């Protein structure tokens, strides 16, 4: 068994790299860092290979576990499409199992990332940096970046599973799981040490994907912010101190973007709000999974693009089949209607040319850029498509059909149609005429708005709702013409649910919703559309995958999943 587990994880990670093989490569009888690295470029390639994995890691299965298990998104069955053996319903209803693929993908992807970062760290730590006209400080910063990246992977693993095997080298047996507290302490140690050696982000500098002092501090603040959920120990004061220091530019120079789209646009590497992002140049296909999941087969005509899609996912509905709002029944969910009227983001997405766009939703009549109707191919074959903020089989209402009136329609996961649900366009998409911009937006991992909201929640929890409201409104005001917010947060209207709404509105689709709900004890204890609370606390963690246990019989399952 020696080295088997760790090396298997590394090998699988390399398979996921989708890299190419250079046929004229030079071979060595003994490959060591000294023989492999020839220039600073080789060093940077080794350093950033684990970061490429990290960009893949924050999407796909990990994103799905964060969002499709929570209240803002769903993949409904649409006629003959998307039942998928009941998989999507299992996640929505919190009935997943240790055999489900997304869960295995999250466990595997986490340990792949750790293994890749450790492999790079092992190689770079053996180099004499002076031979490459680099300094010992450069080497320390590179190694600290990798430590912080390991902490990032483990932090996500702690969030998903609790304790995981902690390893600090690629030498060793298949390891058992460490406890939640041991993993928490390992992450804390890595980040605290990295902060002392990482450089500050320069004022006005572009984000290039490296982990700076501010990014490591923000990750540590995240750890403390969710510590009560992770290890049963509230650490909001520690999170508050770090968040305030980041806002005070003690860990680098950051400021809120003045435009709502700034942190997500084609030039978001220049946004002063970005604390850490993944450059799109690493692998420009990383957003394709999101496009395929969310958009209709014919939405390429809406974008004037050539990409295919599967028409699966959408926002959970804000309205019942009869058009009335769900807000009287559920405090959570209804993501679209949580945006105030007049919010610039609430407009339909429209590409304006030259990298400019407005809105971030697909809603209402589906039209080409020239205003021509786009027709359906399933329930509305040959008919103009109209996307609705509802889930129901409207095509089955009428004389001789399943339902005689809309009032009879059920609304649940099994009742979708091809036009069901609003679609999010958080990442801008240009027309084919400007296709060089496609997926040019970097992927934000941490932005300053999160730190403002973190600080606001910490103040709210300590009894200062007024200051919490001020911090949230500092972010909200950019979403309205001339900053005229029709529904600002106040000390009197701020409670648990308004805070969760604000997290939902600002970070919709950014892969964090489940974590926010768990922090407020809402993930298993609150109802939302077609979801009844399980009241089962063990579901705040996912099971250790059976596939992982099969490959490492020293792993213990999570409580409740035995």
Structure-token pair, residue 261: 């789209």
- What whole-number distance in Å separates Cα of residue 57 and Cα of residue 149? 12
CA dihedral 51, 55, 57, 61 (to 10 degrees): -170
Residue 286 has what pLDDT?
A: 56
Q: Are strands 361-362 and 423-424 parallel, antiparallel or unpaired?
A: antiparallel
For the chain, which ranges sit under pLDDT 50? 1-31, 282-283, 285
275 by DSSP, 3-state: which?
Answer: strand
Residue 274 has what pLDDT?
A: 96
Residue 289 has what pLDDT?
A: 83
Instruction: For the chain, report the end-to-end CA distance as a whole number of angstroms.
Output: 25
Residue 99 has what pLDDT?
A: 97
- What whole-number distance in Å separates Cα of residue 354 and Cα of residue 139? 40
DSSP β-bridge partners for residue 365: 386
Residue 29 has what pLDDT?
A: 41
- Which own/partner contact pairs does 552-559 have at CB distance under 8 Å and 24+ positions apart? 552/5, 552/165, 552/174, 552/175, 553/174, 554/174, 554/175, 554/176, 555/165, 555/176, 555/177, 556/176, 556/177, 557/98, 558/161, 558/162
- What whole-number distance in Å separates Cα of residue 91 and Cα of residue 70? 9
Answer whether 474's CB lies under 8 Å from 247's CB.
Answer: no
Instruction: Give phi and psi for 428, each to the nearest 5.
Output: -65, 145
Residue 35 has what pLDDT?
A: 62
181 by DSSP, 3-state: which?
Answer: helix
Burial pattern 204-228, b for ≥16 Cβ within 10 A else e, equals eeebebbbbbbbbbbbbbbbbbbbb
Residue 107 has what pLDDT?
A: 98
- What whole-number distance in Å separates Cα of residue 276 and Cα of residue 405? 51
* DSSP H or E run through 220: helix 213-225
281 by DSSP, 3-state: which?
Answer: helix
Largest pairwise CA distance in the chain: 82
541 by DSSP, 3-state: which?
Answer: coil
- What whole-number distance in Å separates Cα of residue 83 and Cα of residue 79? 9
Identify which of 485, 479, 520 has the alpha carbon closest to the alpha carbon of residue 500. 520
Residue 6 has what pLDDT?
A: 44
Residue 367 has what pLDDT?
A: 98
The ranges assigned to domains in the chain are 287-433
């Amino acid at each position: 068994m020696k080295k088997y587990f760790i090396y298997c994880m590394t090998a699988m990670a390399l398979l996921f790299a989708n890299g190419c093989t250079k046929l004229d490569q030079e071979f060595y009888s003994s490959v060591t860092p000294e023989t492999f690295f020839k220039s600073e470029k080789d060093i940077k390639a080794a350093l950033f290979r684990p970061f490429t994995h990290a960009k893949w890691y924050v999407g796909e299965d990990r994103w799905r576990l964060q969002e499709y298990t929570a209240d803002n998104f769903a993949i409904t069955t649409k006629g003959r499409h998307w039942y998928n053996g009941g998989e999507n319903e299992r996640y929505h209803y919190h009935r997943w199992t240790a055999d489900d693929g997304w869960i295995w993908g999250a466990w595997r992807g986490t340990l792949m990332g750790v293994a890749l970062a450790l492999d790079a760290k092992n190689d770079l730590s053996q180099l004499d940096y002076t031979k490459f006209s680099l300094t010992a400080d450069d080497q320390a910063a590179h190694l600290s970046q990798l430590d912080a990246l390991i902490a990032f992977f483990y932090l996500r693993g702690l969030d998903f599973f609790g304790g995981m095997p902690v390893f600090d080298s690629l030498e060793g047996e298949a390891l058992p799981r460490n406890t939640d507290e041991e993993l928490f302490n390992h992450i804390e140690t890595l980040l605290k040490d990295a902060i002392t050696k990482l450089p500050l982000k320069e004022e006005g500098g572009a984000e290039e994907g490296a982990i700076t002092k501010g990014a490591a501090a923000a990750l540590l603040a995240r750890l403390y912010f969710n510590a009560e959920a992770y290890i049963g120990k509230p650490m909001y004061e520690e999170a508050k101190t770090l968040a305030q220091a980041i806002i005070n530019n003690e860990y680098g120079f950051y400021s809120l973007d003045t435009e709502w789209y700034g942190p997500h646009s084609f030039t978001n590497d220049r946004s002063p709000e970005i604390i850490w992002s993944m450059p799109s140049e690493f692998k420009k296909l990383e957003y394709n999974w999101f496009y395929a999941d969310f958009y209709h087969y014919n939405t390429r005509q809406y974008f004037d693009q050539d990409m295919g899609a599967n028409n699966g996912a959408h926002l959970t509905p804000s309205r019942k089949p009869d058009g009335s709002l769900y807000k009287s029944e559920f405090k959570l969910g209804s993501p679209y209607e949580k945006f105030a009227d007049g919010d610039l983001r609430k407009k339909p997405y429209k590409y304006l040319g030259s990298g400019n766009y407005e809105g971030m939703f697909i809603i209402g009549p589906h039209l080409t850029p020239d205003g021509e109707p786009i027709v359906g191919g399933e329930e509305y074959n040959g008919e103009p498509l109209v996307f609705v903020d509802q889930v129901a089989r409207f095509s089955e209402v009428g004389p001789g059909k399943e339902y005689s009136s809309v009032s009879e329609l059920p609304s649940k996961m099994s009742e979708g149609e091809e036009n069901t649900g609003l679609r999010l366009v958080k990442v801008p998409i240009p027309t084919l005429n400007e296709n060089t911009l496609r997926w040019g937006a970097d992927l934000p991992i941490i932005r300053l708005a999160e730190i403002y909201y973190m600080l606001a929640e910490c103040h709210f929890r300590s009894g200062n709702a007024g200051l919490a409201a001020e911090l949230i409104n500092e972010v909200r005001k950019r979403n309205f013409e001339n900053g005229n917010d029709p529904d600002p947060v106040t000390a009197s209207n701020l409670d648990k649910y308004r805070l969760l709404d604000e997290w939902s509105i600002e970070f919709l689709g950014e892969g964090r919703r489940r974590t926010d709900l768990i922090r407020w004890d809402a993930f298993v204890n609150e109802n939302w559309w077609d979801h009844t609370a399980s009241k089962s606390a063990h579901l705040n963690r996912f099971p250790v995958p059976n596939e992982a246990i099969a490959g490492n019989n020293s792993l213990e399952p999570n409580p409740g999943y035995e």
